[in-house]
Amino acid sequence: MGGIAYLLLCFLTGFCIVESVFKDTKIFTAETFSKKQINLSSWFFRLPAYFVSGVMSVTWTVYIFAYIFRNSGNPMGYANAVSIAFVSLYCVMSFIFVIRKKKGMFKGEWDKIETAEIVMTGLVVMISMYLMFRSLGKVDGSLKIGLSVFSDFSTHLSMIRSFSHFGNVPTHYTFFGGSDVKYHFMFQFLCGNLEFLGLRLDLALNIPSILSMVFSYFMLYVLSVKFCRKKVIGIVTLVLYTFRSSAALFEYILSIPEGEVISTLTNRDIAEFIGTTNHEDWGLWNLNVYANQRHFSFSLTIMLFIIILMLPAFYDGCARVKEYFTERVFHFKDYFTVCFADKEGWLVKDYKTCIFAGVILGMSGFFNGAVLIGTVVVLFFMAAASDRRLEFVILAGIAGVLALIQSKCFITSSLFSTQYFFGFLSEPRTLVAVIDYIRKLIGILPIVLIIQFLRIKSMHRYLMIAFSMPLILSFFVSLTPDIAVNHKYVMISIMLLDIYAAAFLVWLYEKRDVCFRIVAIIVTVCLTFTGLFEFVIFSRKNTNTRSIIYSYEDDIMNWIWENTDKDDIFLTANYFLTFSGFGNSIVLSGAQMYNAWEYFSWSAGYDVGERDELEIAIYSAENKEQLYAFVEKAGIDYIVIDRSNRDSDMYELNEFVIDSSYEKVFSVGAGEDALSIYDTHKKI
């Protein structure tokens, strides 16, 4: 119950913050950005706004107090006690103020929700719950980790457990123990705190993940309706967002022998993601991303929230320029003068909103850094055509300062390794290959968007370009060693551009001519066909028989929790979650591993070369003197030996040297499958 109470407190805190900052939150759903009335319930905006504002505020408060109490022996316990008391006091005082000031603030808002929206909400909740519990859950008293997520969940679950069982503050990356933490970890800290407060591990991760995904849908729906005024466009946008456009299924069907298409597509044994582009077999572009990268939806909700807050300034800028040229001949020289030289384009009219948006965006940096960057890119291009540009400057300045402070606190070296990298994942990296890559990746969506671009007003054309900028960034710049990480920027752009694709489909369908409606239906099927099939693949891929089933009660984990400290570092084989072996126990314990699965550390920006060399040297040491010297240099507290070491291709294990040099403090299993843990502080 402690974890549920924590989440409820987050909602209450978010309510108090949002309602204190904004004079009337109903206005966000009462009219479009062009000031036309719409009958949209404010709950679709308020609930996500309360959630992200409250979660970030309370969670950062807990983290800061955990840091203050880091040497207390129970940092998470003291941090929660003080934070909850402090936040509760704030909520009581603020709640009374808000309720007195805003009587009737919720009146009539439930009545605005239409039947179609109730059905939409039900489906959104069902899809979100299905994705999360299908990929992670409890089966016969054991933890189930789905096949489509188990790899990345190695680091996610390890970090969560490092917080819930070790109070990993100041925070270290568990797969590169003893180092700084370059990977955004605050969502894992949230989930770890929920487990610490009593929620079972799967619930501690699933509940905030479900809420995050549902609320990202809500915010996208609000943005769509505020753009287009029609709720049906918002609903179609969510359909396109859920089931991605791609040529993958069509190419897959063409590769199937004639007469076997139906039997192949319905074959339950086929459980691999389709697509011929690099890493498409990872499920890099479909719904699996939201099941795998649980922090992604949370940060997308923040991005959409901030875009909604700042779009009125863009509309004001466009309206002012349009009014100026209504009775004048258009000249580019005059256009730039009106846009950039007129003080109306720069004056600040709403300090509260831009300061609030800057704080929220800045706080999100270690929830998901990629979304922060994607949001800044979109806002930059919005600001160029907006009024009140200084509000964007204030927002960016606050967000940048907060992000920089976090980086300085958590990261000892450079956060980014920015370099020009043309082509993203296309091969070869040429213009022709890039065009073909995009064709394969997102199918006919570019054609739909080009047609819509030609038929809409110039203001929305500019917004389409602004929304495309994260995608363009992904094809020209690499911010991390692994270019595949750029897929989030592509998905951000596609999500925002889906609004315009949905508007085109609805416009096409509303034509009275039957031919237009048939075309609309065919295009909709083409845009969602691959995504629907991949949803089926996701379901097949995460059945109980294809998942890792792991006992909640484990001797190795319990020994680690009872006998080691949060700063102890384990030398292991290159562990990640697998379907067998004792390595899972150490990963899921949350212990710090010296050199676990290298891909995760390398892609996060760590230099794994030196640790590779020391790992090989320690396991293959020829005598005690060598072993002692290597262990001291590496700063290892425990050495783990299991079958993975004995079968390693990297070195020839000298198990006798380790066994005769240090005391064996734990062992389980027998023969080649035995796992032994040696304490390097107990020399023999």
Which pLDDT band holds residue 652 (cuts at 50, 70, 90)? Answer: very high
Q: Please, which residues have CB within 8 angstroms of residue 443's CB and are 6 or more apart in sequence?
A: 245, 246, 247, 248, 250, 526, 527, 530
pLDDT tens digits, residue range 386-444? 999 999 999 999 999 999 999 888 888 655 568 899 999 999 889 999 999 999 999 99
Transcribe 518-535 into DSSP letters: HHHHHHHHHHHHHHHHHH
Kindly tell me if the per-residue pLDDT of 184 is higher than 60: yes
pLDDT tens digits, residue range 565-600? 999 999 999 999 998 888 899 999 999 999 999 999
Per-residue pLDDT at 274:
92
| Choice between 540 and 141, residue whose per-residue pLDDT is larger | 540
Kindly tell me if the per-residue pLDDT of 340 is higher than 80: no
Which pLDDT band holds residue 247 (cuts at 50, 70, 90)? Answer: very high
> Which amino acid would we find at residue 196?
F
What is the average per-residue pLDDT within 257-277? 90
Which pLDDT band holds residue 33 (cuts at 50, 70, 90)? Answer: very high
Q: Please, which residues have CB within 8 angstroms of residue 488's CB and are 6 or more apart in sequence?
A: 293, 296, 368, 370, 371, 374
pTM of the model: 0.94
DSSP run (H or E) holding 678: strand 675-683
Per-residue pLDDT at 313:
94
Alpha helices for 456-580 (secondary structure H):
458-474, 487-509, 514-541, 555-563
Per-residue pLDDT at 684:
87
Kindly tell me if the per-residue pLDDT of 107 is higher than 90: no
Per-residue pLDDT at 580:
82
- Degrees (nearest 5) of the Cα angle 450, 507, 238? 80
Per-residue pLDDT at 680:
97
What is the average per-residue pLDDT within 218-247? 96
Q: What are phi and psi of 647, to 5 degrees?
A: -100, 10
Q: Please, which residues have CB within 8 angstroms of residue 636's CB and are 6 or more apart in sequence?
A: 569, 570, 571, 594, 618, 680
DSSP at 185: -
Per-residue pLDDT at 332:
61
Per-residue pLDDT at 639:
97
Which pLDDT band holds residue 99 (cuts at 50, 70, 90)? Answer: confident
Per-residue pLDDT at 335:
64
Chain-wide mean pLDDT for the chain?
A: 93
Kindly tell me if the per-residue pLDDT of 113 is higher than 90: yes
Burial readout 235-273 (b: 16 or more C-beta within 10 A, e: otherwise): bbbbbbbbbbbbbbbeebeeeeeeeeeeeeeeeeeebeb
pLDDT tens digits, residue range 440-485? 999 999 999 999 999 998 899 999 999 999 999 999 999 888 898 8
What is the average per-residue pLDDT within 44-72? 97
Q: Is 682 helix (H, G, I), strand (E, B) or coil?
A: strand
Give the percent of the chain with pLDDT over 90: 79
